[in-house]
Chains A and B, each alone.
Chain A
Amino acid sequence: MKKTIMFLIIAILFIPLAVTDAKGNEVAQLQQEMTALRSQFSEMKMSYETRITQLETKIEDLQKTYSIRAEKPQIAPPAPPQSTSLGRYFQSFNPDVSVIGDFTYHATDTKNTEFRNQFQMRQTELAFSASVDPYARGDFFFHVEQEDGNWHIGLCEGYMTLLTLPIDGLQAKVGKFKVEFGKANKLHLHNLPWVDYPNMITDYFGEEGMSEPGVSASYLIPNPWNKYIELTGQVVNNRNGVSFAGAEGTSLVYLGHLKCFHDINEASTIELGTSLATGPNDGGLGRFGSDMTTLEGVDLTYKWRPLQQGLYKSVTFQNELLFSQHNRPAFDDGTDIIDAKNINSWAGYSSLEYQFAKRWSVFGRYDFSEFPLTSSSWENAYSTGITFAQSEYCFWRVQFKHTDRNFDKDDNAVWLQCDFGLGPHRKHDY
């Protein structure tokens, strides 16, 4: 027992010593490991610092060489105001809608004229334009006018243009449109360079020219000079009451137009056009047999606008001639037999417009016109005027016109015109 106690005492005394010795070894080992780790860490730190420096140098070099690529992320994200604007823009799936007012004061010494010495809201045009689908676009023009004290709205034009036909250079149009005869007939009232249409148009096609339902095809004729040569063919209802059958017409009128355009130099251009229209003048009703009216037209337009001073100076010299062959057989009007007659008549105008300042231009026009049903009556007219363009969307115009007739009293007229538009409708052909 004594031995056992002694052994236990010795064991108890020596165990801590052994433990202390083991701990000492472990600490030393740990210290060594720490030192090694510190050394490794320092090496790694140095290595990474060197590599980071190298990478920074490389990035700087790359930024210098490919600066656009480095900056692209800065440019790419759209700024908030842009998205606001685009949001508004994408709503434009609606058609472009415009309203154009044509206001006049008309003073004349001809006593039986409507709105003589009076103000008149002569016409209000409502225009709608948009793409129909990827293949076509649509255009509608409604006119609101006062007649006999009442306001009327009518369709001036409403057509679809087929833009992607399989034949290269071919376009087609269906609907109601102003026919392709010369230059002035295609213009709307607010787009004329004068207050009124030339006498040639009103005497042979009516107050606002000839606009009928029908179909139209135009083709750009390929040529070695790469010039703009356009051939247009149209077939429309025979409802024009001045040169053709009128409201009772059941037949068709056929039209053709050739337009050749040439740049003389960068400031000057010349356009030559020829037109043809033919159709029965009795609508095929048999009242006069089935007689035909044939109209031929020639138009020549010269334009000058120096590019650098183009905002301030320009000249337009526009001329048209029309020849009419109106064949009419003999007929019984109830009291007498009216002899058969071939009436050959003609009309034309020449207009010169000179823009002398950004907002100001002056013009003069000479008209001569016989009539489709008589070549013995004629009228000469001399017009002159001045236009002030308040802005791109509003102009004021004063025009004086003296008309000399061989069948009636001469007429002197003065117009004050104000034309103003709302909306985007301001794009017009050259």
Chain B
Amino acid sequence: MRKVIILLTLLLGLSGIAYGKDVINVLTTTEDLKSITEIIGGAKVKVDSLARGYQDPHFVAAKPSFMMKAKNADLFMVIGLELEIGYEELIINGSRNQRIRIGQQGYLDVSEGVNLLEVPTTTKIDRSMGDVHPMGNPHYWLDPENVKMVAYNIAKRLSELSPDNAPYFQENLASFDKKIASKMIEWKEKIAPFKGEKIAVYHRSWPYFADRFGLLVACELEPKPGIPPSPGHLKNVIDIMKRDNVKIILMEVFYDEKPAQFVAAQTGAKVIIVPNSVGGTKEAKDYIGLIDTIVDKLVSGLRSSGKE
């Protein structure tokens, strides 16, 4: 009996230690959010992500194993704007974790305050428009200036969850902001010779990036967001690219390369495959690495196509 009591006491003690831990368990939907949270949260957070950077973030299966990850999370973080509409609710409900329900302190939509593009202004939105997002294009993390706001939102929420560590998070935020500011100068300098250049893209993921760095998206290979390229639409794309002398097709790592290569062969353009999320390729190991990779590959492609 005495041994049982000692064992129980030890177990309770251990559970107490586990409960009183000084680390916030964060679960993010994308690796971009994971990277930014790790920078801001440092040693005070443990972060995991549902989607991998090399998969389409629109289509993530609501696996029961993800529900177990969500069950243990103190904070569930989403890109928002309905990017995660297909799986977010299933995972939260399946996790049975009350802390991360929408409206709770453990749920954070990081899109609050970011500068949004392509917010529909028509009075009616329906599926004839493809996979449109009624609250705006959700690929806003590809604009580093928006990511400053994302980092601010993350730091704010981490500070609320762990007030003792607020100065630490604020310090990391300031350091991240400085890093982004200095990298912005570098990225802009690299792209500056190609400012105003027109590019073609596969999916409507790139308006934020193009807008920030002064590029123009001339056309998309998908006829409508989420609708696969059709021969008829590709013919229009080829005509536009020839007319506007577009020499670059920018696309993500998870789309079928064949339609892009077909268009490239018809127009003499070059297909540039880049990650659109952290972890999309080996080089994109964190957020800075992601934008570095995109900028370097794009600049290299534009240069080799004789656009400089």
* Interface residues of A, Cβ cutoff 8 Å to B: 64-68, 71-72, 75-76, 79, 81-82, 84-86, 88-89, 134, 137, 161, 163-164, 168-171, 220, 226-228, 230, 259, 261-263, 266, 269, 271, 305, 307-312, 358-359, 391-393, 424, 426-427, 429-430
Contacts and interface: CB of A to CB of B under 8 A. Distances in A.
Nearest to B134: A85
A137 B93 CA distance: 10
A75 B89 CA distance: 29
Interface stretch (B160-168, B209-217, B253-261, B285-293): B253-261
Contacts of A227: 65, 68
Interface string B50-68: 0010111001011111011
B113 A430 contact: no
B119 A85 contact: yes
B72 interface: yes
B64 A307 contact: no
B134 A89 contact: yes
B148 to A, nearest CB: 4
Interface residues of B, number: 54
Contacts of A309: 254
A268 B60 CA distance: 14
A59 to B, nearest CB: 15
B113 to A, nearest CB: 6
A86 B62 contact: no
Contacts of B208: none
A309 B255 CA distance: 8
B114 interface: yes
B177 A427 contact: no
Contacts of B228: 358-359
A358 B93 CA distance: 29
B148 A68 contact: yes
Given A65-B178, A163-B96, A305-B61, 12 more contacts: A68-B149, A68-B177, A82-B135, A85-B120, A262-B65, A263-B63, A392-B131, A427-B86, A427-B90, A429-B90, A430-B63, A430-B64
Given A66-B177, A75-B113, A82 B55 contact: no
A308 B55 contact: yes
A75 B114 contact: yes
Interface string B108-120: 0000011110011
B181 A67 contact: yes
Interface in B223-267: 226-228, 253-256
Nearest to B124: A88
Contacts of A262: 65
B136 A171 contact: no
A228 B113 contact: no
Most B CB contacts (10 A, CB to CB) among A76, A161, A164, A228 go to A228
Contacts of A308: 54-55, 253-254
15 contacts: A68-B152, A72-B152, A81-B121, A85-B135, A89-B134, A171-B96, A220-B71, A220-B96, A259-B64, A307-B54, A308-B54, A308-B254, A311-B256, A359-B228, A391-B227
A161 B61 CA distance: 22
A66 B148 CA distance: 11
Contacts of B62: 427, 429-430
B153 to A, nearest CB: 11
A82 B96 contact: no
Given A64-B181, A85-B134, A427-B90, A310 B56 contact: yes
A310 B55 contact: yes
Contacts of A305: 61
Nearest to B54: A308
A263 B63 CA distance: 9
Contact of A71 (B59, B145, B178): B145
B64 A261 contact: yes
A163 to B, nearest CB: 6
B174 A168 contact: no
A397 B68 CA distance: 35
B253 A164 contact: no
Contacts of B134: 85, 88-89
A263 B62 CA distance: 13
